[in-house]
Amino acid sequence: MDVLQIHHSALTALGETQGLNARLALLHKALRQRHAFIDRLAVAPFEPETRRVRTFVHSTHGEPPLAFYEAVLEEAPSLAALATSGEPRVIQDLLALDQPGARPHTQAILAAGYRASYTLPFRWNGRFEAFVFFDSRLAHSMTPDVLEDLDLFGHLAGSVVLAERQTLRALLAALRTASQMVHLRDPETGGHLERMAAYARVIAQDLARRGLRAFDDAFIEHLAAFAPLHDLGKIGTPDGVLMKPGALDPEEQAVMRQHPLTGRTMVDAILANFGAEQLEHVDLLRHVAEGHHELLDGSGYPHGLREDEVPIAARIIAAADIFDALTSRRPYKTPWPNTEAFAYLRRQAEGKLDRDCVEALIAQKEAVERIQATFAA
């Protein structure tokens, strides 16, 4: 099969395939038909707000060398230089980087046996968007004809990822606007939404690292993006209930317990309006909005789900939300110390909360303290 046939087949399959990981795998497969020694294709988007580059999606022949890796761009000077110049980088023998003090990313790549790499800064409309990485276990394999193909496949991979992320950005912008309207009315502490995203990421990463859940980078990043939207449905809760300073009576509790259903209805409507129903991991958004008050013993709401009926995303958000409520200052309470909040979560994990999620949060107590310091009330 010549290169034109390979490219045509890849483009045709891309248009018929759903899911970002599947699309990238198709591109990698087509590339390996031409250059079988390209063992890894990965895309790491850049987040201007945090100045961070994060592993996001990859296709790897063999065991992936990196997962849940992130770095502030300016703390990786060689990558920062590439992002600024827009020029790609070729390393024909990675062993030259095997020196004391090598960055964790470099150490992981070397430990996986990679010997040559090509890094392409992907730009769109003059703006740096992501790094596209190609790695090979064959040293000195990045010849001019190979690099010509990698440029083409790299821009195609970057475009595929960017298209999905742009749709996600527009979707999140609409949802966050609605969510922010809720928080203008709801007297919750400042920083709650940011802390929810960070706690969700910490819990999910710990579960994945310990092998308790097979989460990949894309799952975790989507979950962190959706976590702040858990109370979206409160936009439909009357002020008299939402802002009542005292305890709710049974009738008011029934009204409040409708907000997860309202949130799910809003999510479905916005997804339909954006034509985004097929976005990868979009079910996480539904689970976060609708399921974050479900408990494993069936005592939660709105559906009284039990055990395995409660989605893992909802379990993670429930643990994070309760912890943040306990440790935050509210008009009617002082914040609990973390130790007391952790002890309470452990008691709740005897039947209501997911024990693994609770222990994952507690295991990362230093990360929790950094999150609280960064997004203080």
To the nearest whole percent, how much of the chain has pLDDT over 90? 57
Inter-residue contact 128 to 86 (CB < 8 Å): yes
Which band of pLDDT confidence, cut at 50, 70 and 90, is reported for residue 22? confident
- In 3D space, the residue among 371, 347, 376, 374 whose CA is nearest the CA of residue 359 turns out to be 347
Q: Where are the alpha helices (DSSP H) in the chain?
A: 3-16, 20-34, 77-85, 104-111, 144-185, 192-209, 217-226, 239-242, 250-256, 259-274, 282-291, 312-327, 338-348, 355-363, 365-374
Region label for 38, one of left (φ > 0), alpha (ψ between -120 and 50) or beta (otherwise): beta
Which band of pLDDT confidence, cut at 50, 70 and 90, is reported for residue 190? low
DSSP state of 299: -
Q: How many other β-carbons are positioned within 10 Å of the β-carbon of residue 79? A: 21
At residue 182's C-alpha, the angle toward residues 178 and 187, to 5°, is 155
Residue 168 makes CB contacts below 8 A (sequence gap 6+) with 222, 225, 276, 279
* Cα gap 219→285, rounded to integer Å: 11
Q: What is the pLDDT of residues 265-304, one digit of tens each?
A: 999 998 888 888 877 788 999 999 999 999 999 999 999 9
Q: Please give the domain boundaries of the chain with CATH numbers for all domains.
A: 3-161 (3.30.450.40), 186-374 (1.10.3210.10)
At residue 268's C-alpha, the angle toward residues 43 and 201, to 5°, is 40
Question: What is the pLDDT at residue 169?
Answer: 81
* Cα gap 277→268, rounded to integer Å: 8
Does 197 have pLDDT greater than 70?
yes
Return the structure tokens found at 154: 């790299």
Does 186 have pLDDT greater than 80?
no
Inter-residue contact 119 to 35 (CB < 8 Å): no
DSSP state of 297: B
Helix (H, G, I), strand (E, B) or coil at 120: strand
Q: What is the pLDDT of residues 83-134, one digit of tens each?
A: 999 999 999 999 888 777 777 778 888 888 999 999 999 999 889 999 999 9
To the nearest whole percent, how much of the chain has pLDDT over 70? 92
Region label for 62, one of left (φ > 0), alpha (ψ between -120 and 50) or beta (otherwise): left
Mean pLDDT (the chain) is: 88
